[in-house]
Structures are given as C-alpha cells and as structure tokens.
C-alpha cells in the first residue's frame, strides 16, 4: 500500500463502548444441532400458526387489489392493523384508539424512536436492574447515562426509585413490568400505582415495554402501568406481534401521548419510511380472520408445561444455596448461584456438555452480579428441557 494512503476516520463516538449483544453473538455460536439452548428468548417455531399466516398473506396478495400492499405506505402504519391492535389493547384494559398508535418494525424500533425523540446526549435514563439488554444498548447509543434502580423478587423497588428520581432527575424511566426480560418478574398492582405516582410527581417519561404480557400461565392479569391514573400524558407503551404470532414479521406498536406521536413519526420517517406494507397487511388480515386469543391460549398451555419442566428440574440442577424466579408467565427463569461462580466461565463448560444459557452480567446497567444467569424455557419441549437441565447439572457438578 502506498504511504500516501490515509486510513478512513474512526467509528462514530456513540458506537465506541457499546458492546455487541452477547445473546445475538451466542445465537451465532449455537448453531450446532446437538446443543440444547436455553439462551435465546425464541418462541417455539412448531407453534407458529403457519397455515393461518400463509392464508393471511394469500388473502392480501391473491387479488389485483393486493398491489397496494406492495407499495410505499404512510409512516404511521396500516389503519386496519392499528384499529385491530387498538381494539385488543382496549379489551385488555388499556383504552386505545387507532390514532394513538404508531406501527413499528418490532418493538425494538420503538425503543430507538423513543431514544431519538426524547434523549439528548448526556440525558439520564433510569432502568430496573437487571433489564433487557438491547434497551441498554439503545439508550447507550443515544449517548444517555443509564442509571440502575434496585429491584427485588417483585420487580422495581419504589423506594429505590424515589431516591433515583430525586437525585438523578432522569428524563425517562424504562421498565418491563410484566414477566420481565431477563427475570420473569411482575410488578404488583400497588407498586404500579406507586411508580405512576412517582413518575407524575417528578415529571419523568415512563416507558412500559410489554412484549410478554399476554403469555400468562398462572394468576390473573395485572393492569398495564399505562392504564394507571395520572400518567396518561407521559406513558409510552410498547407492544409486539413477536411473542404471540411471529418475530420474523418484525411488527410492533407504540402507544404514545398525542403530542409525542408526531415527533416519533418524524423519527420513524428518517429511520425506515414505514414498516413493511405487506407484513402489516397480512397481520391485519390474520387478526381479522383468526381467534388470536385462542392461539395465545394454546401457546400458554404449551409454555406452562415447559416452565413447569424447567422449574421442577432446578432443585436437582443448581447447587444448594442457589435461588431462582418461578415466573407466572413470559419466557425466562432468572437464577443466582452461590459461592462467587462466574456464569460466563460456567457457560464455556456448559457448551462442552452441549447446553447453553445466557450469563447474567450484560443485563446490568450498574455493577453486574456475575453469579446470575437467564434460562429461556419456551423454545424446547419438556423432554428436551429435562435433558438440557441434566446436562447443565453435570456441567455444574463436574
Ligand atoms: C423486553 C423486550 N423488549 C423488546 C424486545 C424486542 O422485541 P421485538 O422487536 O421482536 O418486538 C424484546 C425481545 O426479546 C424484549 O425482550
């Protein structure tokens, strides 16, 4: 190479120090059929409604009118889809009109749009600790300072939140209050009321990320944080098609207060113009044609058995002194091992036994607890879970 050649400039500052998601990296490494993976938060592919979705795509593409579903479309999203989603949210106790919603390319995009619209570099974001790591990535990319809020077995601790709000004055609070990723925890109603009251009192945006709320295996539904009185003007609620229908379609929605929808829509214009027209049209046709509640009941019945298989195996798998969550829904069990074990090291051993999980450290915004791990129970059958847990037990007990 000639000495007059100058290297191109370095990466943008905002990307330095933002690590790749270890979960995504792991998924790449786990492509060996013999590995039983509890790592990715993947829905069970055999439970996708292949026939129903194929019929929905057929329905929107089989006549000449279907040409419009292959065209550019408005940024806000397909009106039929928004109307159907609004009806479902209203039915679940969160009164919503089609015009309150922006269709997004997965709920992940909603996080990016929120960061673009609300966070200046240096802004403070408060999160429950531990939390969804791609949300941490997203807030870091926006140049925000992420501040952890202590949580316990029942989710975010309102006393800890009051302290963080008073000292740090965050621009927004992000939480997954129902069947959280990674812990599986659910914030009880009285804490929801306390969180809403604190957010209103301190003038903070509240971001409720709810991809798992419909996957309940036990107990009765808890009202959305967004449905709490007094926070209507400050709550952004994120939903997704990913866990109830198909993550590959990349369809989510963002319910936001009136004044925010316009700036969020402008942010989305710059990001991707709009979410896939054909996927939105097929999703609308699908929701109109099938009983999605019945499909979700089927998912819940299957996932409940898988959750039970994993929780039943835990006492014989993990060493004495371990603790774990026993989630009422969602996809994850969160465990903690005694004796200062580093679960990133344990993962190496586990992989030699053809079993995988996600080490807990990347889910922490503050000092990580390296003895924690996340186990997903939805992707494998009960028999595979029993076998995978036996392998994990052998990896642990050597
Ligand atoms: C808490 C949480 N939020 C958002 C997402 C992104 O979901 P999607 O973009 O598929 O809707 C996930 C995916 O696992 C998640 O766990």
SS (H, E, C) the chain: CCCCCCCCCCCCHHHCCCCCCHHHHHHHHCCCCCCEECCCCCCCHHHCCHHHHHHHHHHHHCCHHHHHHHCCCCCCCCHHHHHHHHHHHHHCCCCCCHHHEEEECHHHHHHHHHHHHHCCCCCEEEEECCCCHHHHHHHHHCCCEEEEECEECCEECHHHHHHHHHHHCCCEEEECCCCCCCCCCCCCHHHHHHHHHHHHHHCCEEEEECCCCCCECCCCCCCCHHHCCCCCCCEEEEEECCCCCCHHHCCEEEECCHHHHHHHHHHHHHHHCCCCHHHHHHHHHHHHHCCHHHHHHHHHHHHHHHHHHHHHHHHHHCCCCCEECCCCECCEEEEECCCCCCHHHHHHHHHHCCEECEECHHHCCCCCCCCEEEEECCCCCHHHHHHHHHHHHHHHHC
Shortest-distance atom of ligand 1 to CA 132: 1
Shortest-distance atom of ligand 1 to CA 240: 11
| Protein residue with its CA nearest to atom 16 in ligand 1 | 181
Longest Cα separation, the chain: 70
Ligand 1: residue of 21, 108, 330, 363 to mutate (most ligand atoms within 8 A of CB) is 108
Question: Ligand 1 centroid to 24 CA: how many Å?
Answer: 13
Ligand 1: residue of 106, 138, 276, 279 to mutate (most ligand atoms within 8 A of CB) is 106
Task: Give the pLDDT score at 23.
Answer: 60
Shortest-distance atom of ligand 1 to CA 111: 4
| CA distances from residue 76 to 72, 173, 202, 215 in whole angstroms, order as listed | 12, 25, 30, 27
| Protein residue with its CA nearest to atom 6 in ligand 1 | 108
**Does residue 264 carry a pLDDT above 80?**
yes
Give the contacts of 278 (CB within 8 A, at least 6 positions apart): 57, 60, 61, 69, 70
pLDDT band at 4 (very low <50, low <70, confident <90, very high): confident
Q: What angle do CA 43, 391, 153 make, to 5 degrees?
A: 60
Cis peptide before 96 (omega within 30 of 0): no
- Write the pLDDT tens digit of every residue in 203-236: 999 999 999 999 999 999 999 999 999 999 999 9
Question: Ligand 1 centroid to 319 CA: how many Å?
Answer: 31
CA nearest 283: which of 243, 237, 246, 238? 246
- Write the pLDDT tens digit of every residue in 127-172: 999 999 999 999 999 999 999 999 999 999 999 999 999 999 999 9
Q: What angle do CA 359, 360, 363 make, to 5 degrees?
A: 130
Percent of the chain exceeding pLDDT 90 equals 91
CA nearest 85: which of 280, 341, 224, 271? 280
Question: Ligand 1 centroid to 312 CA: how many Å?
Answer: 27
Shortest-distance atom of ligand 1 to CA 176: 1
Ligand 1: residue of 107, 155, 225, 250 to mutate (most ligand atoms within 8 A of CB) is 107
pLDDT band at 398 (very low <50, low <70, confident <90, very high): confident
Give the contacts of 329 (CB within 8 A, at least 6 positions apart): 178, 179, 184, 186, 212, 213, 215, 216, 217, 218, 300
Q: What angle do CA 141, 18, 153 make, to 5 degrees?
A: 90
Give the contacts of 214 (CB within 8 A, at least 6 positions apart): 92, 243, 244, 296
Shortest-distance atom of ligand 1 to CA 131: 1
Shortest-distance atom of ligand 1 to CA 41: 14
Question: Ligand 1 centroid to 316 CA: how many Å?
Answer: 31
The total of other beta-carbon atoms located within 10 Å of residue 94's CB is: 22
Task: Give the pLDDT score at 11.
Answer: 86
Question: Ligand 1 centroid to 107 CA: how many Å?
Answer: 6
pLDDT band at 330 (very low <50, low <70, confident <90, very high): very high
Task: Give the pLDDT score at 321.
Answer: 97
**Does residue 273 carry a pLDDT above 60?**
yes
Task: Give the pLDDT score at 173.
Answer: 98
Question: Ligand 1 centroid to 228 CA: how many Å?
Answer: 23
List the end-to-end C-alpha distance of the chain, in Å, as a whole number: 52
Task: Measure the CA–CA gap between 251 and 242, rounded to whole angstroms.
Answer: 7
Question: Ligand 1 centroid to 108 CA: how many Å?
Answer: 6
**Does residue 302 carry a pLDDT above 70?**
yes
Question: Ligand 1 centroid to 109 CA: how many Å?
Answer: 9
CB-based contact 151:128 (threshold 8 Å): yes
Ligand 1: residue of 242, 254, 363 to mutate (most ligand atoms within 8 A of CB) is 242
Q: For the residues 42-59, what does the mean pLDDT come to?
A: 97
Ligand 1: residue of 105, 179, 211, 213 to mutate (most ligand atoms within 8 A of CB) is 211
Distance of CA 29 to the CA centre of its chain: 22
- Ligand 1 site: residues with CB under 6 angstroms? 41, 106-108, 132, 176, 181, 209, 211, 240, 242, 247, 252
**Does residue 2 carry a pLDDT above 60?**
no
How high does pLDDT run on average in the chain? 95
| CA distances from residue 63 to 52, 68, 155 in whole angstroms, order as listed | 18, 10, 49
Beta-ladder partners of 254 = 102, 238
Q: What angle do CA 324, 330, 332 make, to 5 degrees?
A: 35
Task: Give the pLDDT score at 12.
Answer: 84
- Write the pLDDT tens digit of every residue in 6-31: 988 888 888 776 766 666 666 666 77
Axis crossing angle, helix 106-118 with helix 133-141, rounded to the nearest 10: 30
């Amino acid at each position: 190479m000639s000495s007059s050649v100058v290297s191109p400039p370095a990466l943008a500052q905002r990307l330095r120090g933002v690590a790749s998601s270890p979960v995504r990296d792991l998924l790449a490494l786990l492509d060996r059929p013999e590995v039983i993976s509890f790592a990715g938060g993947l829905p069970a592919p055999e439970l996708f409604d292949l026939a129903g979705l194929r019929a929905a795509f057929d329905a929107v593409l089989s006549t000449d009118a279907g040409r419009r579903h292959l065209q550019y479309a408005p940024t806000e999203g397909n009106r039929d889809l928004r109307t159907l989603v609004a009806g479902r949210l209203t039915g679940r106790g969160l009164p919503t009109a089609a015009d309150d919603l922006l269709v997004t390319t997965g709920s992940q995009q909603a996080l990016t749009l929120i960061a673009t619209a609300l966070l200046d570099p240096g802004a403070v974001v408060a999160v429950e600790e531990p939390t969804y790591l791609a949300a941490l990535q997203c807030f870091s990319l926006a140049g925000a300072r992420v501040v952890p809020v202590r949580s316990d077995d029942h989710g975010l601790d309102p006393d800890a939140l009051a302290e963080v709000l008073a000292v740090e004055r965050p621009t927004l609070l992000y939480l997954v209050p129902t069947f959280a990723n990674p812990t599986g925890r659910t914030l009880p109603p009285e804490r929801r009321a306390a969180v809403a009251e604190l957010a209103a009192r301190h003038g903070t945006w509240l971001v409720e990320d709810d991809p798992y709320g419909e996957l309940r295996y036990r107990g009765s539904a808890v009202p959305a944080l967004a449905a709490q009185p007094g926070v209507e003007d400050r709550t952004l609620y994120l939903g997704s098609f990913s866990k109830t229908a198909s993550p590959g379609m990349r369809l989510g929605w963002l319910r936001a207060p009136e004044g925010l929808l316009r700036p969020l829509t402008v942010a989305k214009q710059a990001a991707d113009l709009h979410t896939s027209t054909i996927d939105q049209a097929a999703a609308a046709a699908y929701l109109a044609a099938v009983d999605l509640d019945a499909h979700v009941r089927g998912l819940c019945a299957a996932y409940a058995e898988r959750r039970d298989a994993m929780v039943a195996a835990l006492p014989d798998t993990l060493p004495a002194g371990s603790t774990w969550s026993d989630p009422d829904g969602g996809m994850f069990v969160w465990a903690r091992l005694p004796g200062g074990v580093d679960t990133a090291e344990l993962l190496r051993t586990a992989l030699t036994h053809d079993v995988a999980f996600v080490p807990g450290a990347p889910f922490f915004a503050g000092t990580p607890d390296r003895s924690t791990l996340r186990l997903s129970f939805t992707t494998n059958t009960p028999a595979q879970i029993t076998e995978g847990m036996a392998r994990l037990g052998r990896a642990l007990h050597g």
